[in-house]
Each structure stands twice: as C-alpha cells, then as structure tokens.
Structure 1
Amino acid sequence: MEERQVGVYLAALAVGALLGRVAPGVGSGLEHVLDPVLGALLFVTFLQVPAADLVRSLRDGRFLGAALTVNFVVVPLVVAAMFAFLPADQAVRLGVLLVLLCPCVDYVIVFSGLAGGSGRRLLAATPLLLVAQMLLLPGFLYVFLGAGLAEVVEPDPFLEAFLVLVVVPLGLAWTLQAWAARRPAGARVAAAATTTMVPLMAATLLTVVASQIPGVGDSLGDVAAVIPFYVLFLVVMAFAGRAVARLFRLGTGAARAVVFTGATRNSLVVLPLALALPGSFAVASVVVVTQTLVEVLGMVAYVRLVPRLVPGDGAGPR
C-alpha cells in the first residue's frame, strides 16, 4: 500500500464521492466517525515523531525558520492578495481562510517523501506547526473578517477540537514511544501501529468526502467559485516555497520539504472547526472539503514537478 499510496488515496476519494451521492444518508452518518478516524490518523502520525527528535529539531534553526516563514508570513500575504477576489459570502470566505491559513501536518510528510523531501524534518516540526497555527488562527481570522467574527465563531468547539485531535493523540503517541523504548511488547505495538498510516489516511479521505458530499448540492456555485483560488494557491506557493528555501540556504531535501509544507493545508484538522460553526455557515465545511479534493490532485503533480523545480543530485520521486 505504501508503494501505491497515491492511487489508494485517489480511489478513496472516488469511493467517498460515489457513496455520498448514491447513499447520502449513509454518507451523512459517517460524519459521526470522522473525529475518531482523524484522531487515529494523527496518533499514528505523531507516533513517528520521536519526542527526543522534537528537542533536536528545535536546534535546526534554518529549517524551522523557513517552515515558519513560509507558513505564517508568506501564506497570509498570498491569502490577503486573493481575499478581495473571493466570493462575497462570509461563510465561503471563512471556510477558505480556515483551510488556507493552517499548514498540513499529516499527508504532507507522505507526499514530500515521495518527491525526495526531508520527511524527518517535517515530522519533527509537526508539533510546533500545530501549536503555532492554533495560536495564530484566531488573530488571522480577526484581521481578515473583523470583530464581527466573535458573534459567529465560538471558542469552545475550537478548543475541544484542539484537545481531542491534537493534545490527546500526541500524548498517547509519546506514551507509546516511552513504552516501546522500555519493553519489547511496546516496540511491537508501535511497529504495528505505524503500518496503519496509509489505510487510516484512505479511511479519513473517504469519510470526509462521503460525509460532506450530500451538502454540496445547494452550494455548488459557491464551491465551484473557490476552486480556481485553490489551484492558484498551489501554483504560487510552489515558487514562493522555493524562494524561501533559497533565502534560508537549505539543502535539496529540506528545500523540497519547505515547498510542500507551504503548499499543503490542514483541511482534515480544521474540518471539525468548520463543522462546529452555526447552521447558516454550513457551506464553510464544504469549502474546506473542496480544498482537500483539489490539493490531493495537486500533490500528484507536485510529486513529479517539485524535483524539477528544486533539482538536487538527480534523485527523483520513487
């Protein structure tokens, strides 16, 4: 499955879309299992981030500086340039902001590795990127949408999602790491858990699409209107990421990782935040899911094109 993971992900998206259309009742019901599946995926992702590596990664100043710069300086500027041209609907704009302002922490590692990027650096930077986006997102939303946002976005669901989907999986992963370091049984459990990465990613994509497709019908025009912005974002961030990597004088693997972290967004984690919005903002969750569909297809192209954009020693994608 690891050798064919891109095909597996595309198949999962297709099956999810078909299920959501043919059996919308079943698709909508899958929304209840979205958080457990996503939490399991993030647990396995964090399990591959040794706690000791996190401390060491904080010493990799140039890579961390580049990753933070591309995600929290360059990306907001790119989004600001596009913001005035987005559809006027506030729910649509909120959905776009939620998904584009938060860097990915899960399958970015997979796709970056396929293109010869440094997955180890991205893994180690994952907790820092997660904490930074959760701290900065409220401020970004205030800047873009103003004080009126406080009447729409309740902080409690955001805090609950952060605790359930980030803090708990991270704590469990590091607890299992400690057990694995001391007992052979723990090492076997950890090794078995890491083999579930691709199936869990596929299950998450299928669940997300199937559960949200039934709500697309009434908002098809709004959803279609944001697709060109998502495509443009991927194009712009490929070159912006390369520029940031050059600014920080990074090697090939680290540079490719910076390109990927700047382009991929955290749609799977921010989706529960979008689902927690009031009913009048229901289209925001569909806008977030649409970004997932566009991005997965874009990552297939990135795997082929990034090694050419950031050439190295001739090692291309596997």
Structure 2
Amino acid sequence: MSREGLERYQVWWYLSAVVLGLVVGAVWPWGGHAGEALVWPVLAMLLYATFTQVPLTSIPAAFRDGRFLAVALIGNFVLVPGVVWGLLQLTPADDALRLGLLLVLLVPCTDWFITFAQLGRGDATRATALTPISLLLQLALLPAYLWLMSGTDFAVVFAPGDVWPALLVLLLPLGLAALSEVWFARRPERDRIRQRLGWWPVPLLSVVIFLVAAAHVGPARDALDVLPVVIAVAAAFLASSLALARLLATAGRLPTVQGRTLAFSLGTRNSFIVLPFALSLPAGWEIAAVVVVMQSLVELFGMIFYLWFVPRHLFPQPESG
C-alpha cells in the first residue's frame, strides 16, 4: 500500500482502533490501565513524526503570499472561534463536554489538512507553508480562547502539576523535530529518513486511539448520552466551515485552488495536539478526552464528503474561455 492510499483510508484504521480498544478495555480492565500508561510515549512518538513533516523553517517564506495567509489566519483565529462560541451555546451545560469541544474545535489542523488539501485538488504548497504559523499561533492563543469562552475556572482544572506532562509531551517532540529538520537539511540523502517518518502518523494515531479507547471504557459508556451532541456539533462545524470558506475566498478574491485549500484548513482540527491536555485533566473530566476522539472520527467521515463536495461544487474548476 502506498502512503497516499494509507492516508486515504485512514478513517477506517481509526474506527477499527476505537472498536478494538473498547472491546479490550471492557474484557480486560487491566489492559485499560496499561494503555493509560502507554499512551503518553506513543503520543510523543506520533507528535514527533508529525512535526517532522511540518516545515518549521519555512515560516519566513509563508509571509510572501500575504493575501492567502491573511484570509486563512483571519478565518481560523478570528471567525472560526466565533462559530465555535455560537455552537457551544446550543450544547448542554456540561463543563467537561464543553471543554472537550473547545479544546478540539479551536485549533486548526497541521497534519492531515495538507493531505486532504492535496487529495481535494487544493494548493499543497500553500497548505504546507501555512502549517507552522498555524501551529505556533494556536499554541499561543488557546489559553486566551478558553479564558474568554468558558465560565469555568480552568486555571483550577489545568493545575500546573497535572499539565506539565502534557506540555512536555507536546514541546519535547516539537523541539526534537526542529533540530531534526536542521539535521535533515544538511545532507540531501537524509531526507529519506524524513520521508519514512511520514508513514508513521496514521499507524501511530491508530495506536493512540486504541489505547485511549481501552483506558476510557467507563467514561465512554457514561458519555453515550452526549454522543449525539458531539456528532451534531461536529457536523454543524463542518457545514459552517464550508460556508465560511466560500465567503472568505470570495471576499479575498482567492483563486480556485487556494479556496479549496482554505476550506480544508477551516474544516480540519488538531485533535491530537490537544489530546495530551484532555488526558491530563483530573478525575471527573474524563469525558473531555472522549469528546476529542469522537470529534476526530466525525471529522474524518466529514472529510470524505469534503473530498467530493469541495472541488466539484464549492470551488469547481472555472470553465475555460
């Protein structure tokens, strides 16, 4: 199987991982406890493999296309948070549920967004240039978004003693990936290593989802009543992102391929970036991690629709002459 084929059918890997993890966690509870311990190192490996595919040294080059960059950043960091806040008003007053939705919907994707943009006949080059800026901005702005949009004192929920492992799992792979990028660039033959690391994210994310499911059978069972809410909010978010992409592309006078790229940027979210924070929450907040995984699965099914709808109907190729 090619890497493109692996990524095209990744949703089925993740869905299988969820089902298998729930079965293992229900039949062998001790396996769930082991999974809870293993998820952190596997998640760190996943983040490192993914960050090596993000061209962190291309940040200066990304500023050369000011129009697309401005439209994408305004959409993701100004307008999308407004959409998320509006959707949140329609959900039950459950702090853990709302926190999970805030965590996952406020951060634009920096990994499979590029893959889907390419598969959806978008501009993979601009998608690649956008990702490092998007990654740095979301890490800086997420605390402010949570503070502005939530009535809960998350300073208490995210106690420093609980959050530092999540920060370590996130920042250590990011730093190693930045060093690796410099190392790869020194010799052309080393780029083969980076290309091989590009195969890792899908299987590693499958393992992470399996371990999370196995370790959270109880919370997942308790969260069955919120499953329709998560599905409805995630679906409404995907639909809103399509409408927003069309409006922004028209206002910004973006070419067709850039409009498609924008649609995938607004619709995809960075679920595994915030998963460490959801997993670090204290007892009573486990549903937040379940919500993050649920949303990612809904999103992946939504991307199947995006791949058909965006290039054919939302941003069709203009007729020549």
CA–CA distance in structure 2, aligned partners of residues 237 and 58 of structure 1: 24
Aligned residue among 267, 278, 300 for 1:296 = 300
Residue by residue, what CA displacement relative to the aligned partner does 1:4-63 show, whole Å, maximum 9, x if unpaired? 235641331232122223210335533333333333333333323334422101222112
The aligned residue for residue 5 of structure 2 is 4
Report the alpha carbon displacement of residue 303 of structure 1 after superposing the two structures with TM.
Answer: 0.8
Structure 1 runs, 4 residues or longer, greater than 6 Å off: none
What's the TM-score once normalised by structure 1's chain length? 0.88
The aligned residue for residue 284 of structure 1 is 288
- 1:38 maps to 2:39: no
Compared CA separation, residues 159 and 125, structure 1 to 2 (3 A): farther
The aligned residue for residue 247 of structure 1 is 251
- 1:62 maps to 2:63: no
Kindly report which structure 2 residues correspond to 1:1-318, keeping only aligned pairs within 5 A, or say none: 1-6=2-7, 8-24=9-25, 25=29, 26-27=31-32, 29-146=34-151, 148-155=153-160, 157-158=162-163, 160-165=165-170, 167-183=171-187, 186-307=190-311, 308-312=313-317
Compared CA separation, residues 206 and 118, structure 1 to 2 (3 A): farther
Alpha-carbon contact 1:2-1:198 (below 8 Å) kept: no
AA matched with 1:87? P
Residue by residue, what CA displacement relative to the aligned partner does 1:258-286 show, whole Å, maximum 9, x if unpaired? 11111111111111111111211111111
CA–CA distance in structure 1, aligned partners of residues 45 and 201 of structure 2: 9
Structure 2 unaligned residues grouped into runs of 5+: none
CA–CA distance in structure 1, aligned partners of residues 310 and 13 of structure 2: 24
AA matched with 2:13? A
Alpha-carbon contact 1:28-1:214 (below 8 Å) kept: no
Report the alpha carbon displacement of residue 86 of structure 1 after superposing the two structures with TM.
Answer: 0.6
Residue by residue, what CA displacement relative to the aligned partner does 1:76-135 show, whole Å, maximum 9, x if unpaired? 111122222111111111111111111111111111111012222222222221221122
Alpha-carbon contact 1:212-1:286 (below 8 Å) kept: yes
AA matched with 1:136? L
Structure 1 unaligned residues grouped into runs of 5+: none
Aligned residues: 313
Compared CA separation, residues 18 and 81, structure 1 to 2 (3 A): closer
Compared CA separation, residues 146 and 115, structure 1 to 2 (3 A): same
Alpha-carbon contact 1:245-1:255 (below 8 Å) kept: yes
AA matched with 1:116? R
Residue by residue, what CA displacement relative to the aligned partner does 1:219-267 show, whole Å, maximum 9, x if unpaired? 2102332221111111111110121122222222221111111111111
CA–CA distance in structure 2, aligned partners of residues 276 and 197 of structure 1: 22
Alpha-carbon contact 1:181-1:187 (below 8 Å) kept: yes
Alpha-carbon contact 1:95-1:274 (below 8 Å) kept: yes
What's the TM-score once normalised by structure 2's chain length? 0.87
Alpha-carbon contact 1:12-1:206 (below 8 Å) kept: no
CA–CA distance in structure 2, aligned partners of residues 148 and 54 of structure 1: 34
Alpha-carbon contact 1:264-1:295 (below 8 Å) kept: yes
Q: Which sits farther off after the overlay, 68-77 or 247-256? A: 247-256
AA matched with 1:281? W
AA matched with 1:187? D
AA matched with 2:101? V
Q: Which sits farther off after the overlay, 296-305 or 72-81? A: 72-81
SS in 2 for 1:281: coil
CA–CA distance in structure 2, aligned partners of residues 202 and 34 of structure 1: 11
Alpha-carbon contact 2:21-2:209 (below 8 Å) kept: no
CA–CA distance in structure 1, aligned partners of residues 209 and 119 of structure 2: 19
Compared CA separation, residues 159 and 22, structure 1 to 2 (3 A): closer
CA–CA distance in structure 2, aligned partners of residues 111 and 124 of structure 1: 15
Compared CA separation, residues 183 and 131, structure 1 to 2 (3 A): closer
CA–CA distance in structure 2, aligned partners of residues 274 and 67 of structure 1: 26
